[in-house]
Amino acid sequence: MSSQRKIDSARINGAKSHGPITEEGRKTSSMNAVKYGLNAHTVVLPNENDEEYNLLLDTYFNDLQPSGIFERDLVVEMVNAKWRQRRFYDVESLMFEREIFRNQERIDKEYGSDTKVVAHAFAFRNLSLGGSLPMLSQVESRLERIYARASRTLHQHRQLREKYVEKRTQSQDRTLAPALSFEEISNEKN
């Protein structure tokens, strides 16, 4: 149990802080729980372009024309997965560039000129042994599955919705048809 002095001290100290005041401070503060940016809950990282993400989102919305919140959520899930995939492509490229640069002298010395394929092989081997490339591949595969699952679910949902609308329209057409007389019904049977 806390003493009255500790309680009073906590109240005084708590009254001093009102959180970040500027927009930049709030944005920085919102990232406090992010451990690393590759799988973060925030899709657009501080060093990425919000406009590019919004353009990608708008393009998907224009192309897919989601209907209702469920379809919109699926499209957003697809866009988020695609955005992260693009980030990983950049990470992978940078990893290869750095590894090639680190080994360039050795490659040139041992293999001479025209060493593009050798440089790639060197980088691939070293990155694979280091563990970073396999981890990157796992995350890329997971993002591809997320994208494909959302796309498939969107397609299935639309098919079910179309089938339901078609069935409902046919049922309404039957109920709106004029009632047949007894004479007309018996003539149809014969």
- pLDDT on residue 32: 52
DSSP 39: G
Burial environment of residue 74 by CB neighbours within 10 A (0 to 12, 13 to 18, 19 or more) = buried
Most confident of 9-13, 111-115, 118-122, 166-170: 118-122
101 and 173 Cβ atoms separated by less than 8 Å:
no
The per-residue pLDDT for 102 is 86
CB 75 within 8 A of CB 66: yes
Structural tokens at position 116: 């593009």
Q: Could you tell me if 87 and 139 are in contact, meaning their C-beta atoms sit under 8 angstroms apart?
A: no
Lowest mean pLDDT among 50-54, 74-78, 170-174, 181-185: 181-185
- Domain regions of the chain by residue span: 40-173
What integer pLDDT is reported at residue 34 of this predicted model? 42
Instruction: Judge residue 81's burial from the number of C-beta atoms within 10 Å of its C-beta, 0-12 exposed, 13-18 middle, 19 or more buried.
Output: buried
Rounded-to-10 torsion of CA 155, 156, 158, 164: 160
Specify the DSSP class assigned to residue 33. Answer: T
* H-only helix segments in the chain: 4-16, 23-30, 50-64, 68-111, 116-130, 132-176, 182-189
How far is 103 from 150, CA to CA, in rounded Å? 41
pLDDT at 179 over 90: no
Joined tokens for residue 134: 């396999």
Tell me what the pLDDT averaged over the chain comes to: 79
Name the burial class of residue 122, with classes exposed (0-12), middle (13-18) and buried (19+) by CB atoms within 10 angstroms of its CB.
buried
Q: Is the full-model pTM beyond 0.85?
A: no
For residue 102, give both structure tokens: 């680190």
Q: Give the pLDDT confidence score for residue 87 in this predicted structure.
A: 93
